[in-house]
Amino acid sequence: MRYFRVSGISLRENRDDTHIEELQLKCELSVLFNEWFRHFLLDASEKGTFFMQRALKLVLIIFFATMNLIAGPEKFSQARMYEPVVLTGADLSDIIGISPQEISGFRYSATQDKWTQIPVQVDERKYMDLSVPPGKRKHPAADYVYVGFSGGILGSQLARDSDPRFDADDELVFMVEDAGDKAPAAVSPPEGARQKRLEIAVSDPSKPGAAAFVYLFRAPGLTKKMRNLTYHLMDTREHSAVVETDFYRVNYSRRWVLDQIRIKNSMQGSGEDLIDQVKFRAYGLTPQPSRKMGMFNETEEFWSDGPGKCRFSPKSGCSWYLGHKVGPVRIIRMVQGAASGPTTSYFAYFYRKMFEVQVNYRVHPLPNLWFYLDYDSELANPKFYDSENDAVAIDGRHDSVRPASHNTWGQMSSSAGSIVTWMDLDAFRGLGRKLRIAPYYLDDRNFNDLTGDGHAMGNHGVHITNIPDTDKLKAVVARFKVFMLPANSGSGGGRIAKNMQNPLQVSVRGM
């Protein structure tokens, strides 16, 4: 049996009809047990101490059997339920060499003695030389890129996987919410699946006893279980796009420019846009004097400039689109290039109620780098939370917020919807003694950072200083996650941050 850790977080949703029936049945069993338990102890107490001791022993046996019965994802906390589990082929060696089309996932219901198919996604990857210029070492780079069975928009535009079968560097992903109970060893396989199965056990180290299970089968010809995830590429020059799930909608107006997050009614949101933009700044928040460049800084808009506009690489532009992939569990969007960091890349992963942005930084030394969210100036009565501040009004007026020196999360709550952000910057922390990471917050309607709507509304994120040279083959990886919450949610970022610091544990066993 192999053990490893999986990071990530997401939020609970309504389950499908089958799982709702399971939960209702378990609740009914719990009520019946409690009533029987009360009468049983009353009867035993009337018969004396000896019978009471025997009764308690029997109750303990029944209790632990009941706990096993209700194993499953509902034992996890609300904040764990929508976490993705991402495994590589190296973690799943028993199914290496199988066609991805033949791999199917199922959960088992102990109360119904029934298998239910769940969405499982296999993403083919290829380790590629992404150096600039190609094949040369001026700006060296190599990364795994998501590819399809052929070149083009399905996966990377650059290549196709040389091995279309599931191999060691490919990824398989499912959602914790779709897991179920532990299946008995003797239970028959689902209809259409072969006998042999792979058991994946997911447990929460911060909540002993909480475990859930997913089973992988080889099932040739079985139709895949799908989710409602869509990606619309709007144009092939700026690569604007709309990403949509059952619970939220995100808009890109340019390659690096994410300028809308809308939470739908299914998540108790109003559908209004919550943000101005997700923003990046290099050198200064606004243009700074430079001997070579004049008044200059770099922004997410500048990084999105196309051929003929970017002074660093006029032929290819400041960035270019690598491609995207849409599957039953997640959507992946890939961009490479950030002006003077041509091998920096941006990978975004969209799940049903949360998304993750992974930035692979490779760039020359930088004195300053910011990464932050700027909220929509038309939002009604938004509030800001983090580990040191509670319900601070985002109103465009300067606030005396308490600095959170090691903060990794922030939250905005409003009547239109709420979001929690979480950042993983551990890779930056090891780059040298002079490097500093500090929280960044600015609420000032009169401050214009020259992208978006011209107002700084509850800007929050990080400010990194004294970054050494990272223009090397191996990237410095930063991760940024956004979780969708209902309107007017109270502070929930602390729970999410705690889970991020205590990743789910996963074990795999062939059966």
Tell whether 292 and 145 lie within a shared domain: yes
Verify that 384 and 457 share a domain, yes or no: yes
Is pLDDT at 189 greater than 90 in this prediction? yes
106 and 137 inside one domain: no
Query: What is the pLDDT at residue 138?
Result: 84
Q: Considering the entire predicted model, what is its pTM?
A: 0.86
Tens-place pLDDT, residues 85-134: 999 999 999 999 999 999 999 999 999 999 999 999 999 998 888 888 87
Q: Residue 76's pLDDT is what?
A: 86
Please indicate, yes or no, if residue 247 is contained in any of the structural domains. Answer: yes
The structure tokens listed for 358 are 């992974």
**DSSP run (H or E) holding 53:** helix 49-69
Comparing 148 with 409, which gets the higher pLDDT? 409
- Indicate the pLDDT class of residue 27, thresholds 50, 70 and 90: very low
| 54/116 same-domain check | yes
Domain boundary among 181, 201, 223: 223
CA-closest candidate to residue 241, choices 249, 253, 229: 253
Q: Which domain holds residue 57?
A: 1-124+164-223
pLDDT of residue 44: 53
Q: What angle do CA 130, 134, 140 make, to 5 degrees?
A: 55
- The CATH number of the domain where 283 resides is what? 2.70.98
Average pLDDT score over residue span 430-450: 93
Q: Answer yes or no: do 175 and 279 share one domain.
A: no
Q: What does the alpha-carbon distance between residue 438 and residue 403 come to, in Å, rounded to a whole number?
A: 9
**Cα separation of 478 and 425, whole Å?**
5
pLDDT digits (tens, 9 = 90+) for 265-299: 999 999 999 999 999 999 999 998 876 766 789 99
Quick one: 152 and 69 in the same domain?
no
Q: For residue 511, is it within any domain?
A: no
pLDDT beyond 70 at 53: no
Model pLDDT, residue 45: 55
Task: Take residue 303 and report the two structure tokens written for it.
Answer: 């990084």
Nearest to 166 by CA among 215, 201, 196, 125: 125
Does residue 32 carry a pLDDT above 70? no
**Domain co-membership, 256 together with 347:** yes
Apex 116 CA angle, 111 and 117, nearest 5: 160
Task: Report the share of the chain in percent with pLDDT over 90.
Answer: 63
Are 43 and 68 in the same domain? yes
Q: Do 23 and 83 belong to one domain?
A: yes
Q: Are residues 339 and 266 in the same domain?
A: yes
Q: Would you state the pLDDT for residue 288?
A: 85
66 part of a folded domain: yes
149 shares a domain with 79: no
Q: Are both 181 and 318 inside the same structural domain?
A: no
**CA–CA dist 375, 381 (Å, integer):** 12
R_g (Cα) of the chain, nearest Å? 25
Tally of domains within the chain: 2
